[in-house]
Structures are given as structure tokens and as C-alpha cells.
Amino acid sequence: MAFEYAKRIKRLPPYLFAEIEKIIREKKAQGIDLISLSIGDPDLPPPRFIIETLKQEAANPKNHNYSFSQGEPDFREAVAGWYKRRFNVDLAQDQVVALLGSKEGIANIARAFINPSDRVLVPDPAYPVYANGSTILSDGKVVPMPLLEENGFRPDLEGIDAKGVKMMFLNYPNNPTAATVDKKFLKQAVDFAEDNNIILCYDNAYSEITYDGYCAPSILEVDGAIDVAVEFHSLSKTFNMTGDRIGFAVGNKQLVSGLTKVKSQIDSGPPVYIQKVAVKALSAYTGEEQPDFLKKNNRILQERRDMLVEALRKIGYECDKPKATFYVWVNCKGDSMRFASKVLDAGVVLAPGIGFGKFGEGYARIAFTQPKESIIEACNRIAAAFR
């Protein structure tokens, strides 16, 4: 028997990473040795104190009941405390909601505010969830905002036709381009959202993965942001906890409340013991500065970044050293699928830019989420492929 998919499912484009995973599985089944630099899942472990806290909290039988959809009060308090210390932003408890990873919140926010055919501004290239899991699965209409290299991979806000637009996604430090922004740009974005009555969803998942002294801002640091914006955060990248599924959304009270309403009909909060671990993790920030664990983590990533960029330059691919994220966005001088498949034949998996949107064509994203030795070997293989 075959059942017909809902129209919204049929509208979904294929999910790039599912396709890549399938190719990896097939190649591995054929015994081919592959180095995967395609997916943003850190190879580095969570800090030891996280594992110890997790063991302790998971061993407590009281931590295995359902948790509140909005998140446990101590978790929300810890998030508010972190915002104060890290960004000097004041948040009340009802301006915070716990998420089962930020992806879930990014997808569910549209369910709370998007009606069929509402237009949603989505960066292109971008993390695919804004367009797919969020907008299309809520029957909204995706309006791409090109992120062009000549504009520093920022959307041209002045050139946007905002008619019928209800929501907009922005993400800096950016995946996949690794571009960063300053508060001046964020102020322009907030003004644009205010002037056009648009909900501004700001994805700050990479705010802590930074190099060369760069410190990523929160959109909530900007005047007026609290009237229009909700910011998504995650412990996935900051604490190498991608599989633990814990994140949060903060900001405008009505936006947080809308998201909570949807969530309360779909799931409960993240496991209580994971929220307790998150409290401990966030409290490692005693001031504005990053905790020692993170400094060490970012030093390792920075060393890999430098090595990768220098190796790519030697092979003939010019690219900037990113100030944040663990991605290099390289101009591959042509068809990105062809580039990726040539590299794949040489035993290296990377993400073709076209998978992040039309304006990602001509680029490839390389994640430095593998040990140094693997990155060196991957670069040798890429060099051999293009010799």
C-alpha cells in the first residue's frame, strides 16, 4: 500500500546532509576510506565537568520525570544569568524557553506565527532548516535573501521588498559562509524589522566559537531588539554537546510565549538531568570572558583553521580565515557538485555550496571538525585530485 505525502512534504527539497550520509555509507560499505569534513559535528569531547555532572544528575531518580515545556525554572534562571554576564542583557524568566536543541525551536517558531502564504525572508546560502523545517513545513513562502561575497555575505536590507513578509531569519556567525557581523549591522536589521513589522529570528548558535579576539554580539544587545526579535542558542557547539539536544530561545515575550505554546502541544522540555548539566555548563562563565575550557577548545580549532586555509591556498583555492564557526567557505571556481564529487573520489567528503541554496553555488564548505592529522591527509588528497 502507498500513501500520499502531504503537499508540504512534497514541497521539501532533498536534505543535503541525508544525501551525503547515504553516499558515505555506500562508499564505506565498499571499503573506501573517507575523511568527512562535511558536517558540523565537533570531534572534540565535552569538558570533563560536563560528563561528571551528567553522570551525577542522571543517577538521581528524581531527574527522570517529565519536565516543563518551557524548561525548568533553574535552567531559565541560568540562561538569564548567562545573558547578563556574557552580553549584559537583562531577561526575565518568561523571556526564556528551553529547546531540544536550537533546530527544534527554529522549526517550531514558524508554526506559532506563519499562516499559509506568509512570506519568510531566508538567507541564501543558509542552514537549511529556516527554509525547510520552519517555513515550508508551516506552509509559508520562502523569500531568499542572497548573501553575496561582495556584501560580506550580508543581505542587502535596503533592496528587500518587505510586502507580505511576516518573519525573517538571520544567522551570524554564519553557517555556511563563516561571515561575522558587528552591532551596527544588527541595528540596521532591527530597524528594518521594526519598520516593516517583521519577526526577527536570530540564530546565534556559533557565538562562542570565535578566534583572533573576535567576540560575537547578541542581537538583544541592540536597542529595540526586544520588540521584534527572538534569539536562538545552543549548547551543541559551545560545549561539544550536539547529541545531548539542549538549547534555548530568548527575547521578545510574545515570541517566546508563541513558541512555548506550540512546544507544549508537541513535546515536554528537555530531560531534567540535561537541563541541570546545562545550568552547570553556563555557570562556567563567571564573567564576560570565555571559560578556560572554551579558550582551549577554540585554540585547537584555530590551529586547524590556519592549517586548512594555508593548505587550500597552496593548492590554489583562495579563502579567508574565518573569525568564527568551524567552517571554511571556499570559492571552488565552478560547479560545486562537480567539485565535491571530484574531492569525494579522492576520499574526502565536503559540502557543496549549492546544498545551502542557489547563491551557495561556486563555493564549498569544509568543516574543521576532525583531528589535525585527518585534515592534513584530506588536504593531501584534495591536492592530488587537482594536480
Ligand X SMILES: Cc1ncc(COP(=O)(O)O)c(C=O)c1O
Residue numbers at the binding site for ligand X (CB under 6 A): 40, 101-103, 127, 171, 175, 203, 205, 234, 236, 242, 247
* Residue 206 vs 347, nearer CB to ligand X: 206
Question: What's the closest the beta carbon of residue 99 comes to ligand X, in angstroms?
Answer: 7
User: Which of 153, 347 has the CB closer to ligand X?
Assistant: 153
- CB nearer ligand X, residue 132 or residue 379: 132
How far apart are CB 241 and ligand X at their closest, in Å? Answer: 8
Nearer to ligand X, 38 or 290 (CB): 38
Long-range contacts of 150-159 (CB under 8 A, 24+ apart): 152/179, 152/181, 153/177, 153/179, 153/329, 154/179, 154/181, 154/185, 155/121, 155/123, 157/188, 157/189, 157/192
**Closest CB to ligand X among residues 247, 353:** 247
Q: Which is nearer to ligand X, 129 or 379 (CB)?
A: 129
CB of 116 to ligand X, least distance (A): 25
- Smallest gap from Cβ 103 to ligand X, in A, equals 3
- Minimum gap (Å) between residue 21 Cβ and ligand X: 14
Report in angstroms how near the CB of residue 376 gets to ligand X at its nearest. 25
Closer by beta carbon to ligand X, 280 or else 379: 280
The nearest distance, CB 30 to ligand X, in angstroms, is 28
- Number of residues assigned to the chain: 387
